[in-house]
Amino acid sequence: MAFGRTHNIEDLTSELIGQSATLGGWVEDLRKLGKMTFLTLRDVTGITQVIVKGDLNEKLEGLNRQSVISVKGIVQDTKAKDFEFELKAEEIQVLAKAIHPLPIDPIGRLESNIDNRLNSRALDMRNQKTASIFKLRHHVLASLRKTLVENKFIEITTPKIIGSASEGGANLFSLEYFGRTAYLAQSPQLYKEQMTIGLERVFEISNFYRAENSHTGRHLSEFTSVDIEAAFMDYTDVMDVLEELVMQVFKYTSENCKKEQEAIGNEIKVPSSSFERITYAQVVDELNSAGEKIEFGDDLLDSHLRLVGEKHPGFFFLTDWPMKLKPFYIRAKDEDETISRSFDLQYGYLELSSGGTRLHDPEILKSRLKEQGLDPAQFGDHLQAFDWGMPPHSGWGMGLDRLMTTLVGIDNVREVVLYPRDPDRLTP
């Protein structure tokens, strides 16, 4: 018997009753009643019951749950309440045996903590709640790309091994690169700005790296970022793009991922209105009214953002930050050079995205670099592009992993990353 299957489990329909089908999958349960065995088989598309009679039971001797088998049989109606159809086995081939006991229970009958599940991540993917999270992530990525392409953005891929600090930050991983020091990119910022010269609207969905010794449920050393940059757009324009993207993600997954929502135990609810836009100055006033002592120009601490999130639950834009709190490439407002054309997208206290209008005047950009203690000479490759006709442009970067936590309804980013990397975890 060849191990190749003719059908996925989801393909079993009333039209196939009485016909032969070969299924392949993992044994999720075994129940022996005399000379008959009721076997539940699962593949990535679903679960079904297999009836094994007579001498075929010998094939199941010593077979543990989660072993891989191929079953050829006849599709028939079933009296089992949990299944629409079942397969009456005619041939069984054991393709791979699973050990007993397994390091975690992939069915989820016995709860395992997140660290144990991460240590056995491939097996954890047999847990339907875990698998559904990553099926959702797949659909989120598809939705993001679809909406961006419809908005005339072109997908690019920028280097992850770079020769200097892309944003002048200190939180960089360094590595030896053929006798020189190189770094892992913390964002595609400078490259995506340069690409607006020829492609105008670009986006990238890729992993980036930040050497922050943070031990929270929302920080990772390796994270997936969704980035855009667009010529001839102001920061309010790219905020509109971001809002549309997030709304479409929630709308698409809400309508098309019913099974996944059921498995996760969380209903995806589309935001009922446009995202509120509040300024940094308004937030300072709100915090002072709440008894916090904060002045204009102070950075917002996590404790501040939690208070703001209580008053503004859900998604909202926090705009017009002080210039001194923003990177060198952010542009000031024409009417007040102490305030930037910038924003963060928040989900309550959780920052999902940061962006703004960029400087496109090379002389002002050089001045800003010096103001922040950075040497313009180290950014020579980037600055030369500004002499080639750099258009006004704006953009943002959004943490995909954090967005996933808002969609799934959990607060630990490690749940939505296959093999998370943080200060404590480098394997598997």
Q: ω before 106 within 30° of 0 (cis)?
A: no
Given this model, what pLDDT does residue 258 score? 97
3-state secondary structure of 234: coil
| Cα(57)–Cα(348) distance, integer angstroms | 56
Q: Is 97 exposed, middle or buried, given 0-12, 13-18 or 19+ CB atoms closer than 10 A?
A: middle
Q: Is 315 exposed, middle or buried, given 0-12, 13-18 or 19+ CB atoms closer than 10 A?
A: buried
Where b means 16+ CB within 10 Å and e means fewer, 104-129 reads bbbbeeeebeeeebbbbeebbbbbbb
Q: DSSP assignment, residue 412?
A: -
| Cα(27)–Cα(65) distance, integer angstroms | 5
| Cα(282)–Cα(360) distance, integer angstroms | 29
Where b means 16+ CB within 10 Å and e means fewer, 214-226 reads eeeebbbbbbbbb
In order, the DSSP letters of 138-195 are: HHHHHHHHHHHHHTT-EE----SEESS-SSS-S---EEEETTEEEEE-S--HHHHHHH
Token pair of 196 as six digits: 């607006």
Beta pairing partners, 279:
319
Contact 331, 367 (CB under 8 A): no
pLDDT digits (tens, 9 = 90+) for 369-399: 999 888 898 899 999 999 999 999 999 999 9
Angle (CA) 35 38 42, round 5°: 150
Given this model, what pLDDT does residue 215 score? 87
| Cα(304)–Cα(318) distance, integer angstroms | 13
Q: Please, what are the domains in the chain?
A: 9-96 (2.40.50.140), 123-416 (3.30.930.10)
Given this model, what pLDDT does residue 169 score? 63
* Residue 379: closest CA among 161, 158, 165: 165
Beta pairing partners, 398:
226, 353
| Cα(320)–Cα(332) distance, integer angstroms | 9
Given this model, what pLDDT does residue 109 score? 85
Given this model, what pLDDT does residue 2 score? 55
Given this model, what pLDDT does residue 78 score? 93
Beta pairing partners, 177:
180
Residues of the chain with pLDDT under 70: 1-3, 166-170
